[in-house]
């Protein structure tokens, strides 16, 4: 059950209780979204697009024919990846029905947006103006469940709260440069993120966690810690990182006092980001699923591109028993 929860949390990036194609396979969804926009612009509808692709008028288009024809018609993105996303039954051929869900599908706005670095900088500037620091903005405006992950919905809501009316989707794409479907604190403030993770790594190694480390510190009031008291305890217990910079990050109200809760929440963050935790969890589920389409078959995902939290059965179907045992220890 613990493993199932880890898998589900890794996939349900916006904590909605549902997994959509935008979360399951963001890169595949990006290609689908661009294809949908291109098809409707060029041919007016998905049905008309299929007729243009089906040169033989057989009602079925083989993979090689689809790839060749779509390229000839001017679609410039990955045609093989597109075919695999559309081929939900793994038959190596498409019918009109295979594509018709695109008529009604409403992809998230960022999937067809271009990265806008200027908009991203403006959002970060406005976040700091509102919350006084980037870490405070992350804690209170974006990552409210302390998972070190924020999805598109949280980003959109935060932009509304700070009054940003510019290119919200473009700013998101600049932050989520790999189109993973979520961002971590490191993508907003890599320097501060590394300072925090350095302290987390030290606390994990020396005490088994950040909360345990703070409990070992001799603090008069953990909710109102001044720099001198914090520095003395860090030195006493052997932390050799930059204590001043660390304290300035967790002094989120900029009043010379820090709450240790802004450190202990690091225990809720996944293992350090360079471990590829989320990717490893997703890879475990997808190990025996050759394409996003086969993943959808295993999870009974169809044109709605949504699934509920029934990952346990899907994991059993995909042969994840070994990984389940190793991660549940």
- Give the H or E element holding residue 30: helix 26-43
Per-residue confidence (pLDDT) for residue 198, from 0 to 100: 96
Per-residue confidence (pLDDT) for residue 6, from 0 to 100: 54
Per-residue confidence (pLDDT) for residue 300, from 0 to 100: 36
Per-residue confidence (pLDDT) for residue 47, from 0 to 100: 95
Burial (Cβ within 10 Å: 0-12, 13-18, ≥19) of residue 138: buried
Separation between Cα atoms, residue 184 and residue 190, nearest integer Å: 9
What is the pLDDT tens value at each position of the chain, 329 positions in all?
445 555 555 555 556 666 666 777 788 899 999 999 999 999 999 999 999 999 999 999 999 999 999 999 999 998 998 999 899 888 899 999 999 999 999 999 999 999 999 999 999 999 999 999 999 999 999 998 888 999 999 999 999 999 999 999 999 999 998 888 889 999 999 999 999 999 999 999 999 999 999 999 999 999 999 999 999 999 999 999 999 999 999 999 999 999 999 999 999 888 754 445 555 555 555 554 444 554 444 443 433 444 454 444 444 444 444 344 344 44
Per-residue confidence (pLDDT) for residue 319, from 0 to 100: 46
Token readout for 77 is: 């993105």
CB contact at 8 A, 187 and 176: yes
Separation between Cα atoms, residue 194 and residue 165, nearest integer Å: 30
Separation between Cα atoms, residue 267 and residue 215, nearest integer Å: 13
Full DSSP string of 257-271: EE-THHHHGGGGSPS
CB contact at 8 A, 12 and 309: yes
- Give the H or E element holding residue 159: helix 152-162
Buried/exposed 151-186: b ≥16 CB within 10 Å, e otherwise: bbebbbebbeebebeebbbbbbbbbbeebbbbbbbb
Q: Could you say which DSSP state residue 221 is in?
A: -
Residue among 111, 114, 115, 92 at smallest CA distance from 32: 111
Buried/exposed 278-314: b ≥16 CB within 10 Å, e otherwise: beebbebbbeebebbbbbbbbbebebebbbeeebeeb
């Amino acid at each position: 059950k613990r493993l199932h929860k880890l898998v589900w949390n890794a996939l349900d990036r916006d904590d909605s209780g549902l997994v959509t194609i935008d979360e399951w396979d963001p890169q595949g969804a990006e290609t689908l979204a661009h294809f949908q926009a291109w098809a409707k612009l060029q041919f007016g509808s998905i049905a008309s697009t299929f007729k243009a692709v089906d040169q033989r008028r057989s009602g079925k288009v083989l993979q090689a024919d689809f790839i060749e024809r779509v390229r000839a018609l001017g679609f410039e993105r990955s045609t093989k990846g597109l075919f695999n996303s559309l081929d939900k039954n793994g038959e190596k051929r498409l019918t009109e029905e295979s594509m018709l869900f695109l008529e009604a599908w409403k992809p998230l706005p960022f999937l067809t947006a271009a990265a806008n670095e200027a908009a991203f900088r403006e959002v970060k500037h406005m976040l700091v103006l509102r919350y006084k620091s980037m870490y405070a903005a992350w804690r209170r405006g974006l990552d409210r469940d302390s998972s070190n992950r924020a999805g598109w919905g949280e980003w959109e809501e935060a932009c509304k709260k700070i009054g940003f009316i510019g290119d919200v989707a473009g700013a998101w794409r600049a932050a989520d440069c790999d189109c993973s479907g979520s961002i971590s604190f490191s993508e907003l403030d890599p320097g501060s993120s590394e300072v925090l993770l350095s302290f987390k790594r030290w606390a994990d190694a020396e005490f088994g966690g950040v909360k345990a480390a703070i409990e070992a510190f001799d603090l008069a009031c953990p909710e109102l810690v001044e720099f001198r008291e914090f520095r003395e305890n860090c030195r006493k217990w052997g932390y050799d990182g930059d204590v001043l910079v660390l304290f300035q990050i967790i002094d989120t109200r900029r009043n010379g006092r820090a709450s240790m809760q802004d450190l202990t929440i690091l225990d809720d963050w996944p293992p350090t980001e360079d471990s590829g935790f989320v990717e490893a969890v997703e890879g475990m589920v997808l190990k025996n699923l050759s394409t996003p389409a086969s993943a959808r078959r295993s999870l009974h995902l169809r044109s709605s591109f949504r699934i509920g939290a029934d990952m346990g059965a899907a994991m059993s179907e995909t042969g994840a028993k070994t990984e389940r045992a190793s991660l549940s220890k």
